Structure formats: structure tokens, C-alpha cells
Amino acid sequence: MSDGTGKPEKINLDEILGGMADSRKPGDDDSSIEIIGDASGGTPDASVSAASARLQEAIAEKDRVQDLYLRARADLENFRRRMERERDEDRQRAGSAVLREIIPALDNLDRALAQPEDAPGFREGVGLIRRQIGESLRKLGLEAIDALGEPFDPAYHDAVAAEPREGLAPNTVIEEIAKGYTYAGRVLRPALVKVVIPSPKAAGSGPAGAESPEQGGSDGPDHRN
């Protein structure tokens, strides 16, 4: 404001402050200052600190879980490699046991082959070596399948030939072409055998006085419609 002389009017600061004091309502407290915080009642800085702490905990937990996963994966891989190595060692030990049993028979076979074929006892010597090999394999669990004279059993026999034979029941094994073997209770190789089949004469004949199904008598009831 101006007093008419062009000079600005002096402002009385005390009057202004006094007017503000008069405009306050009764009960107002100069010392009370309201601080606006977050919904949880804390200050913004406290909320940021709490969120940061939770984030750090989550990161630490993630690192811990990832470390456990990597350790478990490494343990599983080591276990798989150890099992493969143990299986290889078991196969090698089993193979070594077989070879130790067979080597003496090979030595005897070499000695027999070093003799002339017409030497006395040559055939008996080869038979002895065959028995020695069979005994060695039997100790390792190999068992021969009894087939000759037995009824045909598809679980243990494989019929590769057949012929009629008088006086024997059909499906009787009459020749063992190749011996079969079992190992640890399981068939390692079935026996290749020849079996008996009914002769055509026996198959076409029946009891005396009997008629074949195709031959019907003229007497008797007719069951046809």
C-alpha cells in the first residue's frame, strides 16, 4: 500500500502476527505438529526400511534354497556315477570268475589238440574235457535241461523237427538236436528237439465200429431242421 507520496507503506510485522494469533481457535496448540505416515502407523523411512529388510531376507532364502538344490543335484550325479562304476566292477568280477573256471579246461583242450587224432584215448580225452567244462559251468549256476524222452514243454523246449513214431505218445521228445540250459532258475536257451507226431494212419483210424463225424448212418433220429 502507498501513503500518497509514492513511497510504500511500512508493514508492521507485530500486527500481522498478532492478527494470526487472534484468528486461532481456542484449544489450538502451537507445539502440536501432525506427521503423516503410512497406513501401518510408521513413518515413510521406517516402511522403506522394513520392506528392504524383507527383501534381503527373501534374497537370502532364495540363495539358501538354490545352494541346497545344487548340492542335491551334485550328490545325485555322484551317486549315479558310483552305481555305474559298481555295476562295471560287478560285471568284471563275474567275468573273472567264469574265466578262472574255464581256463583249466582250455589247457587240457590244448594238450589234447597237440596229440594226433589217431592217438589212443583221443576221444576219451576230449570227452573228459567236455565234462570238466560242464562241471565248471555248473558251479557257476548253469544247468542243463533234461529233454530226451520227456513230454514237450514249450517253456523249456523248442521243437524244430517232428516225425511219427510207433509206440510213443505224441509230443514226446525223441531227439535232442541242441542242449538247452537254465541259469539262476531262468531259461538261458531252450533245448532244440524233435518230437513225435501221430502217424497219418493212426490219425485217420478210430475204434472198431465207430463212424467218423462226416459219416452218418441212415438210422437214428435226424436232428436237422
pTM over 0.85: no
**44 or 207, higher pLDDT:** 44
Strand-pair partners of 163: 196
Q: Model confidence over 50-106: pLDDT tens digits?
A: 888 888 999 999 999 999 999 999 999 999 999 999 998 888 888 888 888 888 888
Lowest mean per-residue pLDDT among 25-29, 48-52, 109-113: 25-29
Decide yes or no: CATH 2.30.29.30 for domain 45-140: no
Whether 129 and 111 have beta carbons less than 8 Å apart is answered as no
Q: Please, what CATH class does the domain formed by 143-203 belong to?
A: mainly beta
Q: What's the rounded Cα separation, in Å, for the pair 151 and 98?
A: 33
Q: Tell how many helices (H) and how many strands (E) occur in the chain.
A: 4, 6
- The whole-angstrom separation of Cα 212 and Cα 207 is 10
d(CA 78, CA 76): 5
On whether the CB atoms of residues 190 and 145 are closer than 8 A, the answer is yes
Domains of the chain, residue spans: 45-140, 143-203
State pLDDT tens for residues 155-213.
Answer: 999 999 999 988 889 999 999 999 999 988 899 999 999 999 987 765 555 444 334 33
